[in-house]
């Protein structure tokens, strides 16, 4: 399928897609909403297909790349859902590496997030991408089923699963003990939560278009943070001002970037919201940030 870009769609349609992807409306309401944009010979079905994630586009690093080793690991999570499974990527040469926890969007460990882990492995990190859907059978291979399953998982227990995964990764014998975290959408919000929960045990966090932590929790944050926001993301961006004011007031180390006119999800290269230029720049900044604070 030909890749389309966000500027080929009305913003109202992208907002509708965003609402559907985040569980604000059901599939029927979404398809009904698409109807007003299916004009000029374009059917609702064709429009729907053009918006759906295409995971053929997600693989930028071959799982069989000889420079990395990949596989699945299961981590005990006694305070959470019992255990959490995830995808581990690491350089094939070397004994100890700085580690990075990779946290998915609100639909589980999909191929895009696994590729992000491999990108970090290629960059010299021990990267672990846990699947928050482990307790309900894991990522189902279908985005909307993933969204539906995500809503059935106890949020507090899922947070404990990610905390357990972070400590497991940090304490592995092939880890230097330096721990970073990067997350997208839900995962970006989780990075902010982990910064609160882990305190000095987190050494750097990068949140892509994620919900902010509570202002009252900011004093608990120790890790340097980087925020990557999309200009067209009213819901998430509404919380920037108060959060960053609290970070400044508490003399916390952070960097914040907003990519003008870009969409929530601009780093995810499987949907039309992806923006190659913004994604490249944001990822370069992310790697530079991790190099500074983890290596």
Domain residue ranges in the chain: 6-52, 60-294
Task: Label residue 193 exposed, middle or buried (CB < 10 Å: 0-12, 13-18, 19+).
Answer: buried
Please tell me the number of Cα atoms within 13 Å of 252 on its side-chain side: 30
User: Residue 36's pLDDT is what?
Assistant: 87
Task: Label residue 115 exposed, middle or buried (CB < 10 Å: 0-12, 13-18, 19+).
Answer: buried
SS3 of 252, please? Answer: coil
User: Residue 23's pLDDT is what?
Assistant: 76
The two three-digit tokens of residue 199, written as one number:
């305190």
Kindly report the pTM of this predicted structure. 0.94
> Do strands 204-208 and 175-184 pair parallel, antiparallel, or not at all (unpaired)?
parallel
For the chain, the maximum distance between any two Cα atoms, rounded to a whole number of angstroms, is 60
Identify the CATH number of the domain defined by range 60-294.
3.40.50.1820
User: Residue 1's pLDDT is what?
Assistant: 58
Residue-by-residue pLDDT tens, the chain, 295 positions: 567 888 889 999 999 988 888 778 888 898 899 988 888 778 888 888 888 888 888 889 999 999 999 999 999 999 999 999 999 999 999 999 999 999 999 999 999 999 999 999 999 999 999 999 999 999 999 888 998 999 999 999 999 999 999 999 999 999 999 999 999 999 999 999 999 999 999 999 999 999 999 999 999 999 999 999 999 999 999 999 999 999 999 999 999 999 999 999 999 999 899 999 999 999 999 999 999 999 9
Q: What are the residues facing 102 on neighbouring strands? A: 182
Sign of the dihedral defined by the CA atoms of residues 7, 9, 13, 18, in that order? negative
Closest CA to 141 of 105, 111, 106, 186: 111
The two three-digit tokens of residue 96, written as one number:
């100890």
- Is 87 within 8 Å of 103 (Cβ atoms)? no
Q: What are the residues facing 101 on neighbouring strands? A: 128, 181
SS3 of 2, please? Answer: coil
User: Residue 18's pLDDT is what?
Assistant: 86
User: Residue 279's pLDDT is what?
Assistant: 97
User: Residue 186's pLDDT is what?
Assistant: 97
């Amino acid at each position: 399928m030909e890749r389309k870009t966000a500027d080929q769609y009305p913003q109202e349609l992208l907002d509708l897609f965003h609402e559907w992807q985040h569980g604000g409306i059901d599939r029927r309401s979404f398809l009904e909403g698409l109807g007003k944009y299916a004009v000029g010979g374009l059917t609702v079905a064709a429009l729907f297909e053009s918006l759906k994630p295409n995971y053929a586009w997600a693989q930028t690093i071959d799982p069989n790349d000889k420079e990395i080793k990949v596989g699945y690991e299961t981590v005990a999570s006694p305070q959470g859902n019992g255990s959490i499974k995830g995808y581990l990527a690491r350089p094939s040469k070397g004994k100890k590496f700085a580690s990075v926890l990779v946290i998915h969007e609100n639909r589980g460990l999909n191929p895009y997030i696994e590729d992000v882990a491999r990108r970090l492995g290629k960059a010299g990190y021990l990267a672990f991408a846990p699947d928050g859907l482990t307790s309900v059978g894991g990522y189902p291979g279908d985005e909307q089923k993933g969204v539906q399953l995500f809503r059935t998982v106890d949020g507090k227990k899922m947070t404990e699963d990610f905390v357990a995964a972070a400590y497991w990764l940090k304490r592995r014998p092939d880890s230097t003990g330096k721990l970073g975290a990067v997350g997208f959408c839900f995962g970006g919000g989780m990075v902010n939560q982990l910064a609160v929960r882990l305190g000095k045990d987190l050494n750097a966090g990068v949140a892509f278009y994620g919900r902010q932590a509570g202002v009252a929790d900011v004093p608990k944050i120790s890790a340097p943070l980087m925020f990557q926001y999309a200009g067209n993301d009213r819901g998430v961006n509404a919380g920037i001002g108060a959060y960053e004011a609290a970070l400044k007031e508490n003399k916390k180390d952070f960097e914040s970037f907003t990519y003008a006119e870009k969409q929530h999800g601009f780093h995810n290269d499987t949907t039309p919201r992806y923006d190659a230029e913004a994604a490249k720049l944001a990822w370069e900044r992310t790697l530079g940030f991790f190099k500074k604070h983890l290596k």
